[in-house]
Amino acid sequence: MKVLCLVRSCRWVIAVSTAALLILASRADVFAQTVVARKFRETPLAPMSAELRPSSIVSADARHIAYIRRTSSGEQAVFDGREQPEFDQVAALAFSPNGKHWAYAARRGSTWRVVVNGREQPEFDRVGPPVFAPGSKRLAYVARPKGTESRVVVEAPGGPGKPYEEIFEGMLVFSPDGARLAYGARRDGRWYVVDEGREFGPYDYLGSATGLVFSPDGKRLAWAALSGKQWRLVVDGEAGPAYDNLADVVFSGDGRRVGYAARRGDQWMAVIDRDEQPPCRAIAEGMMAFSPGGGWLAYVAQTGEQWQIIVGRQRWKPFDSVRQILFSPDNKRLAGIVVSGGAELVVVNNREGRVFDRVGGGTLVFSPDGSRLGYIAKAGRNTFAVVEGERLPRYDMAGYLTFSPSGRAVYAATRGDKAFTVVEDQEAAHHYEEIWTAPEAKLIFDDAQRFHYLGLKQGQLFLVEEELSR
């Protein structure tokens, strides 16, 4: 197959394929696979090399790249190829969620400061990683003022807040609407939760595993607090029942219900609005979720040596382990990746699907209307997307699977030294050495027809905007 690829920076062009490729797979799977010319646009972002990769970050909207470059006299941050001033040390690069703002920590001599959009903020003995609010209008970080051992939270715009003996950097949390900033802080040996300057407490300790959790609407805040030897979930300042341990706090989509894992003695249980569910041996971390309507809480519990998905009072068939659960947007299906006897498969509403050597963790995805379920799986040396139980063409690697607003499967794949996008079973004629997107993200759609990603070729990283074939 010969491909003529016409590329003009920041202009729409067409990659013209001179042939279609037919791949006949082994066993019962036969795929008629075509290479299509899809309209795309490349915008150069920055040079990229092996030495720059370890420090590189991609913005949440997958449109920007930043990294730290070593110089003869120190280090400098580089955002979308734009070199920033040199410092003795640079760390903690960050983009705002909308990708329009950026920040990092920098040291000159013995003093640190945070730099926001190129402007140096006040100097401190130490600074923590800058954290942007979801709305991208606020930024905060933990700092140690000069000549002191105290810690403060600094906002930009704004300034330093009240000093404390210690502040949990991992508990610096903005609400989803960006209107509230909360964190955990210690004073006189006791711990407090500070929500927009208002203190709750004191407590003997705060749960680092649960952290501070806002409801999706940003109106409620929950945390685990230790008093004496007992842990309680505190929601909006009101403490719940006492337990020996707590984990995994989740809110329903409307923020009205809260669920969490609690231990009493050697038994764990899920708790929904103070209603205790049947006890079990353990509850899997990070796999507790409310259905979109908030009517059901799903979680993964260990009974004996096996694990099973529990939805309300319904217990699914047990397996060796469960690696992901996901509700469909229409609230009609619940899917889970499970392991059985060394093989892996997807279970939907307690019905088992096809068995594979491996199903990619975190790759479960539903179409926007919930009618199609997809994931990435591996059999032997081949990797492929699976949609509604049907295998799509096989590749060396595949990932970033998502669905277009109209429900078409779109993902990235590699064959040999070429990386390209695939829509259902149609490969794009233009290709790259690698395709990148934001951490823990899929290919991102901008509207019903267009999606984008980052493509690497010949040492240059490009923003690639691509259109679906009609």
DSSP state of 318: P
pLDDT of amino acid 33: 63
Pairing of strands 426-428, 34-36: parallel
Backbone angles phi, psi at 72, to 5 degrees: -65, -25
**What amino acid occupies position 419?**
A
List strand residue ranges (DSSP E) for 75-214, in order. 75-79, 82-83, 89-95, 102-108, 111-116, 119-120, 126-127, 131-132, 139-144, 152-156, 166-167, 173-174, 181-187, 190-195, 198-203, 205-206, 212-214
pLDDT of residue 34: 82
Q: What is the pLDDT of residue 22?
A: 29
- At 317, list the tokens: 């068939």
Six-digit token string for 460: 């240059």
CB 283 within 8 A of CB 268: yes
Q: What is the pLDDT of residue 193?
A: 98
Overall CATH class of domain 64-164: mainly beta
Residue 205: predicted pLDDT: 96
Are 177 and 134 in contact by the 8 Å Cβ rule? The answer is yes
**Could you tell me the pTM of the whole model?**
0.89
- What pLDDT is stored for residue 46 in this prediction? 97
The burial of 14, by beta-carbon neighbours within 10 Å (0-12 exposed, 13-18 middle, 19 or more buried), is given as: middle
List, as own/partner pairs, every contact residues 17-21 make where C-beta atoms lie below 8 angstroms and the sequence separation is at least 24, other chains included: 17/429, 21/427
**Nearest CA-CA partner of 376 in 327, 405, 414, 404:** 414
| Spatial separation of the C-alpha atoms in residues 141 and 427, rounded to whole Å | 44
Q: Which parts of the chain have pLDDT scores under 70?
A: 1-33
Strands laid side by side in the 267-272 sheet:
245-251, 258-264, 267-272, 275-276
How many angstroms separate the CA atoms of 21 and 153, rounded? 58
